[in-house]
């Protein structure tokens, strides 16, 4: 828990959010400014900033974020495909500095991403 972290406050339910999945390791909630019909953020309960700050002990939870994203994508019938994205660092578009995986789906996606 980092006292001034928005996503730690969401994890502790000190700030309201639309939680769509949670367990002891991870939580997932609707993005407040969705960039696709489905836009969910998945976070570890443990506060760390980005992949650049992850250590070997975070390996399992980083994988779990991807597998929970796949489960949510199946539940939402994102049959045409979906995208999972970590933005690492401000230069890649990161604006909240608690690691989170974006799950985006429900519209076509271009490659390369912007
Ligand atoms: P990033 O730019 O990769 O750090 O992603 C941060 C995401 O958090 C953005 O997509 C924001 O729309 C989203 N966001 C910011 N504040 C909230 C909030 N209170 N509840 C839900 N999502 C939020
Ligand atoms: Zn945090």
Q: How far is the CA of 87 from the centre of ligand 1 (A)?
A: 11
Could you give the CA distance from residue 72 to residue 65 in angstroms, rounded to a whole number? 11
Closest Cα to atom 19 of ligand 1: 32
Q: Which residues contact 66 (CB under 8 A, 6 or more apart)?
A: 84, 101
CATH architecture classification, 6-105 = 2-Layer Sandwich (3.30)
Give buried/exposed letters for 2-17 (b at 16+ CB in 10 A, else e). eeebebbbbbeeeeeb
Percent of the chain past pLDDT 70, that is, above it, reads 100
- Give the pTM: 0.98
Find the largest Cα–Cα distance for the chain: 39
Ligand nearest to C-alpha 93: 1
From the CB of 58, is ligand 1 less than 6 Å away? Answer: no
| pLDDT at position 3 | 86
- Residue-wise pLDDT for 47-95, tens only, equals 999 999 999 999 999 999 999 999 999 999 998 999 999 999 999 999 9
Beta-sheet strand order (sheet of 26-30) = 19-22, 26-30, 38-44, 101-105, 82-85
CA distances from 105 to 13, 60, 94 (A): 26, 24, 19
| pLDDT at position 114 | 83
Domain definitions of the chain by residue range: 6-105
Q: How far is the CA of 41 from the centre of ligand 1 (A)?
A: 8
């Amino acid at each position: 828990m980092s006292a001034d972290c928005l996503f730690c406050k969401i994890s502790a339910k000190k700030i309201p959010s639309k939680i769509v999945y949670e367990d002891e390791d991870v939580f997932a909630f609707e993005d407040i400014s969705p960039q696709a019909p489905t836009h969910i953020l998945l976070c570890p309960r443990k506060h760390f900033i980005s992949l650049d700050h992850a250590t070997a002990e975070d390996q399992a939870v980083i994988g779990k974020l991807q597998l929970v994203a796949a489960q949510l994508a199946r539940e939402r019938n994102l049959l045409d495909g979906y995208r999972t994205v970590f933005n690492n660092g401000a230069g890649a578009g990161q604006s909240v500095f608690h690691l989170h995986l974006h799950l985006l789906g429900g519209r076509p996606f271009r490659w390369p991403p912007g």
